[in-house]
Structures are given as C-alpha cells and as structure tokens.
Amino acid sequence: MGLEAGTGNNFLVGTSGQTNSFWLPEVFSKKVQVAFRKSAVAEAICNTDYMGEISQYGDTVNIIKEPTITVTDYTRATTSLASTVLTDAELVLQVDQAKYFQFKVDDLEKRFSHVNWQTVASDNAAYQLKDAFDVNVLAAAIAGIGSNAYGTVAAPIDTGHASGEIDPLDVLARLARLLDEANVPEENRWVVAKPAFYEELAKTSSKLLSVDYNQGNGGLRNGLVASGELRGFKMYKSNNISTPSGSGSPTHHILAGHMSAISCAQSLSTVESIRDNASFKDIVRGLLVWGRKVLRPEALALAIIKID
C-alpha cells in the first residue's frame, strides 16, 4: 500500500515541519525469497554401479560386456563342434562433463547484512549444478535410444481423449510392450514425462484416478508422481526432458526405461573458499564433474506425442 499525502506523512522522507524528517524506519526480513526449483529425476532413473571408480575429470571406466554364446543344433555322432570365439567387447564410461560456479561475498555484506549471503548463494549454486546434470543425462538417454520408438517428429502420436486421439494410458502400454519385446525385466522400470502428459493422464475421461497422484505425500523434488506404478512404470515428472527437435510446442518426448539402461558417475571434485587478492571479498567456487553412458539401448523406449 502506498503512503498518500495527508494520511501517511509520518513516514515520508523530507516531510516539511517534522523533526528528524529524514529518519525513515525500515524493516529487513531475514528470510530470502527462494526461487522455485525444477524437479530432478536423473539420479532416480540411473544406476550408479561405477560411481566409486571415478574421482576426477577425464577418468575412464571400461565395462566388459557379457559375451553372446551361439547355440547350435547337435547331430548324433558329430565329430567337429563349432566354438564361439569369446571377445572382450567393452563399453567406455568417461567422465567428460563438467560445470562450475563461482561467486564473491563482500566483507561489508558479510559483516553487516541481515542475510547470510554465502549460505543462500551456495544453496542456489548446488541446485543449478544438479539441474544442469539432470538436463544432460536426460538428453544423453534420448540420444542413446535404439529402435524402441513409438511415433516420430514428423508423425507424433496424437494423445488425448477426443475422437481419434490415443489415450495416454495406451501410450504407456505401448512403451511397456516395446520393453517386453526387448526382454527387459519388468522390475525397476520407469517413465519420465512433462506435466502436460500427466494432466492428460489425470483427466476424468481416462477413468484412471479418483484421487490426486501424490495424495499430499509425493516427492516433488525428485519428480516422483506417485508411490505406486502404472503399467509397470514408476512415474516421474520433469520439465528437463527435451522437446523433439524441429517440432512445435505441443509435441513431447515420453521416455521410458529400466534402471540398468543408463549409468551415471559424478563427483563434486572441488568446493573451496579463497580470498580475492583484488578486493575485500571471499571467492566461493565449486566444480562438478560427471560421466553418463547408455549401457543398454534396448532397455530404453521413446514415445513422441502431440497434445493439443
């Protein structure tokens, strides 16, 4: 509410006829308005089997693949048996991604401010690193998918509840079938989609849900939509999943997979506070390094849908 002339002049600067007229009481809140955080799902859908084998940028983990043995028909009295040659095929998980942050805290601000700026800024920096990691891993997962695709950018699946549209529940059923046909285990499957898809899924015409997904207890920070599963998938919501390249805004990626499909390894290798030689400030900085690898492309499936 503004201070209007004649009604709130007691606290207007420079009001004529008042003693100490330039004294102005101000109250500073010790609470900081924290920006909204996007949910991050990468840590929930990746395995971290090789996390302990890295420590810094440039580290490489060589993962030996299980050999595929050929089974041959046997004929009685056969004297010459064919042998499968064992090969040492391997996958390489390389720590080749890095992000950093740096900010400065002035001595005067640290001494006289009503807010601990270093703590506030450090919290935001940690979120920004986690968000960048999440975007990167989801993009790598989509880029590494094999042939398990439902719909294309040119011909996305028209999803909804109107005549001629595909029910979003049927989209999940198709993704489950694609994984089934690739012999992917049913346990530990997940699906990641944007809020628009879950809005369609929750509409009454789908007759899917009679209560809210989370029932007030959902884990919003890690994007988990519900404690239960749907069509065999743990459901995650994320704004970090990419929009198909070259498509319009109503087109979306729906990413499904198994925990064994992607491996992530990350290490916050450096967090330090040093003195700035050029000013009366402390420099706080941190570096996050990570690697990610699609180990099983057949354990990922992608639907490209249109919601309008």
Beta strands in the chain (DSSP E): 60-64, 90-94, 97-106, 149-150, 157-158, 189-193, 224-230, 233-237, 251-258, 262-275, 281-294, 300-306
Residue 276 DSSP class: -
Per-residue pLDDT tens for 167-203?
999 999 999 999 999 999 999 999 999 999 998 888 8
Q: Is the pLDDT of residue 218 over 60?
A: no
pLDDT digits (tens, 9 = 90+) for 253-275: 999 999 999 998 887 668 889 99
Q: Which residue has the tokens 């991604």?
A: 97
Candidate ranges 80-89, 104-113, 197-206, 229-238; pick with highest mean pLDDT: 229-238
pLDDT of residue 11: 53
DSSP alpha helix (H) spans, the chain? 42-45, 107-112, 117-143, 168-181, 195-202
In this prediction, residue 78 carries a pLDDT of 79
Q: Is the backbone of residue 227 left (phi > 0), alpha (psi -120 to 50) or beta?
A: alpha
Over residues 160-164, mean pLDDT? 89
Distance, CA of 43 to CA of 88 (rounded, Å): 29
| Residue 208, burial from CB neighbour count under 10 angstroms (0-12, 13-18, 19+) | middle
Tell me how far apart the alpha carbons of residues 251 and 239 are, in angstroms, rounded to a whole number. Answer: 13
Of residues 230, 143, 192, 229, the one with CA closest to residue 40: 192
The closest alpha carbon to 73, from 85, 61, 81, belongs to: 81
The pLDDT of residue 151 is above 50: yes
CATH 3.90.1690 fits 37-57+97-308, yes or no: yes
Burial, 165: exposed, middle or buried (Cβ in 10 Å; 0-12, 13-18, 19+)?
middle
HSE (side-chain half, CA atoms, 13 Å) at 174: 18
Region of poorest pLDDT, from 60-64, 99-103, 230-234: 60-64
- Per-residue pLDDT of 94-132, as tens digits, reads 888 999 999 998 888 777 777 787 888 888 888 898 999
pTM above 0.85, yes or no: no
Residue 26 CA to residue 286 CA, distance in Å, equals: 35
Task: Check if the beta carbon of residue 198 is closer than 8 Å to that of residue 241.
Answer: no
